[in-house]
Chain A
């Protein structure tokens, strides 16, 4: 029963993450919403699968996968933001329209 609640929570987070990609018109806000929401959806879904499969050989592998996702998903979004900022991508929306896209 509990794993169904976690699964529904992760569905909602995935849907809002996809909505957030299309609604914002600045690169940094898109990165902010999508990275946080996607990490939370991954955590909720892997916890749901761990609870569903019980205490078995699945549990160790799923927790290893959860640990790996928590470790690497914020690092990769940080690397994308750092690459965009050091290349001179403007943060204000007013400067955003004048900047020439690469």
Chain B
């Protein structure tokens, strides 16, 4: 029964690792933003699965606030790059 959650967390960690590889070798800035988006979505899922696995309700609030922080990060980075970044 609990085996499913462990396999799920392992798959999420492997997917986060390959998104990190894409972030390192991505040719443009927007590839790195894309992989940041994927990693933040997978962090939310990882915290939610861990909260149900450990039967701890408080961790779901942590997942919600991590989602808000990730969304604001991507929005502000995209506006910063759209305005010219550090070059202008």
Contact = CB atoms under 8 A, between A and B. Distances in A.
A42 B45 contact: yes
Interface string B61-78: 101100110010011001
Interface string A68-85: 110011011101101110
Interface string B42-58: 10110011011000010
A21 B74 CA distance: 18
B28 to A, nearest CB: 6
Given A11-B8, A82-B78, A101-B27, A61 B57 contact: yes
A68 B35 contact: no
A41 B11 CA distance: 12
Contacts, number: 121
Interface string A35-49: 100110110011001
B30 A14 contact: no
A50 B24 CA distance: 35
B57 to A, nearest CB: 6
A45 B45 contact: yes
19 contacts: A11-B11, A14-B11, A15-B11, A17-B15, A22-B22, A27-B30, A57-B57, A65-B44, A65-B64, A65-B67, A72-B71, A73-B41, A77-B34, A79-B74, A80-B30, A80-B74, A84-B28, A101-B27, A102-B28
